[in-house]
Chain A
Amino acid sequence: MSRRPAAPPRGARTQRTRSSSQLRAWLRHHRAMSADSARRLLRHPIASLLTMLAIAIALVLPAALWLALDSARLLDAELDASATLTAYLESAVDAGEAGRIDEAIAAQPGVAATRLITAAEGMAEFQQALGLDDALARLEDNPLPASIVITPDEPSPEAVRSLAGELEAMAGIDEVRLDLAWLERLRQLAELGQRVALALAVLFGLGVLLVVGNTIRLAVESRRQEIEVVMLIGATHAFVRRPFLYSGAWYGLGGGLLAWGLLALGNQWLAAPVRALAASYGANFSMPHLGLIGSATLLICSILLGWLGAWIAVSRHLSEVRPR
């Protein structure tokens, strides 16, 4: 039916110009369809906004949890760096001997710094921290032993544990406490939180697929006649699918931007009380931000989810929409 060009030497060039013009045509159709699908969305601004809002809400929850965990990780690193051991001296040890023990510990390998807290100093700190001046003042003897706070060179749990063992063997030391147990518990909690966040992200991602899929399904349904006609006159599946994929991507982009806005808003709203709370613990803690990479990830994920949701919906319906 199609007549082939008669002169074979020109074949290669014809082929090349044809494929480059095909590429131009392909790009032209992409441009046209992206603009056309955006116009269709804008034609029903409220409906489009509602769909995007549904996507945004589905994205905000896992994103917020992820942010919270991220800040917990930062906190964790800070705690790691501040991991210390406390060596409590036997109560019989006097101040001079305590000073000698302090020097001996400072000379140990793996010890970065030491700080001697005498019994009196310990009492003062205790009073200040608890605000129990009166009750403690009634005590006749100071029940607290002198202690030495040791900052290790290496904050890893294994190094700290072996250092503790060595210190415990020294004369004059009653007990070495390491505050690792709660650190480990915190880490386990963070691990649990991460898994919960991942599960939520997967669930809510599926939610986004369903929201977009359902919206696109309705769009396909309303343009059924058009799809049938273009398929009758030789449109490929890709051609039919394209405007809907762009719609899905636009929904995803809109949802992602809204989610980003909601996160920023939530951040603003929570920043003041969080700062006050952190200050009351004497911590310098600022609200976590998405940052450039986080924002880009959020938007890319939302666009991809929208695109994928549309792809699934259109493909399912292409097999049903057969030209009459």
Chain B
Amino acid sequence: MIVFEHVGKRYGGRFDALANLDFRVHRGEMVFLTGHSGAGKSSLLRLIMRLERPSRGRILVAGHDIGRLHASQVPFYRRQIGVVFQDHQLLFDRSIYHNVALPLEIRGMDPREASRRVRAALDKVGLLHRERALPIELSGGEQQRVGIARAVVNKPSLLLADEPTGNLDPQLSADIMALFEDFNRIGTTVMIASHDLALIARLRHRTLRLREGRLVADEEAA
């Protein structure tokens, strides 16, 4: 699903955010990405989302060299990936329902079909009863679940998450991770960047450990 071949990312001509990354994530896998802040987790996710291009090497996602995508193809590439952000990136001027419907609206999906999918996604994260609420009326954990509903409403084959439990207490974090595991169980490839080592250790999935932009460990699920 994801192949990194000698990938490096250098900022400002001197600083190597990522250096010589080589790994492969198979379809249907669930992978954690760990390391201290500044180790390059976010940079790696940004490369996969094609927010940036690698300075060296190449990245294949679903068999396509995404460094070669033309700028006009990038939006269509991004529609195939679901992304959950640490700060949710919800739009505060519209309801939960419309936040989750946004990716479908961008794709131009028929409103009736879209409404069915939005409700299914909200139901999955347990927030169907709040569809008319505004994001500001929701707790942090609920907002994160809205972000997850938005990421999966498109039924992406790849789900990325950047510190999805960053500001949540242990119980809520465990709930969120359980949601990701559910999506992984139905075949979605999931990659989660997190520094919550205790939680990761409990969940027993493959873990890629970064330090100063290098891959220092690739531990299969114990």
Sorted nearest first, the 6 A-B pairs with minimum C-beta distance are A25-B108, A1-B62, A234-B79, A234-B78, A236-B75, A234-B75
Complex CA distance for A239 and B79, rounded to whole angstroms = 13
- State whether A1 and B158 are in contact (beta carbons under 8 Å apart), knowing that A225-B91, A232-B83, A232-B89 are contacts in the complex: yes
Complex CA distance for A2 and B157, rounded to whole angstroms = 8
Q: Which of A1-33 contact B (CB under 8 A)?
A: 1-2, 21-22, 24-26, 28-29
Q: List 8 A-B contacts (CB under 8 A).
A: A21-B110, A233-B78, A233-B102, A233-B103, A233-B150, A234-B78, A237-B75, A322-B51
- State whether A323 and B61 are in contact (beta carbons under 8 Å apart), knowing that A22-B108, A232-B78 are contacts in the complex: no
Q: At the interface, yes or no: B80 with Cβ under 8 Å from chain A?
A: yes
- With both beta carbons as reference points, the residue of chain B lying nearest to A3 in the complex is identified as B157
Residues of A within 8 A of B (CB): 1-2, 21-22, 24-26, 28-29, 225-226, 228-237, 239, 322-323
- With both beta carbons as reference points, the residue of chain A lying nearest to B80 in the complex is identified as A1
Q: What is the number of residues of chain B that contact chain A, defined by CB distance less than 8 Å? A: 31
Complex CA distance for A229 and B150, rounded to whole angstroms = 11
Is the beta-carbon distance between B157 and A239 smaller than 8 angstroms?
no
Complex CA distance for A231 and B61, rounded to whole angstroms = 19
Residues of A within 8 A of B78 (CB): 232-234
Is the beta-carbon distance between B109 and A25 smaller than 8 angstroms?
yes
Give the dominant DSSP class at A's interface: helix
Is the beta-carbon distance between A235 and B158 smaller than 8 angstroms?
no
Partner of B83, one of A226, A228, A233: A233
- With both beta carbons as reference points, the residue of chain B lying nearest to A233 in the complex is identified as B103
- State whether A226 and B79 are in contact (beta carbons under 8 Å apart), knowing that A25-B108, A233-B103, A234-B106 are contacts in the complex: no
Residues of A within 8 A of B77 (CB): 234
Residues of A within 8 A of B109 (CB): 25
Q: At the interface, yes or no: B18 with Cβ under 8 Å from chain A?
A: no
Complex CA distance for A230 and B78, rounded to whole angstroms = 10
Residues of B within 8 A of A226 (CB): 91, 93
Residues of A within 8 A of B106 (CB): 230, 233-235, 239
Is the beta-carbon distance between B80 and A2 smaller than 8 angstroms?
yes
Residue from the set A225, A229, A323 with the largest chain B CB neighbour count within 10 Å: A229
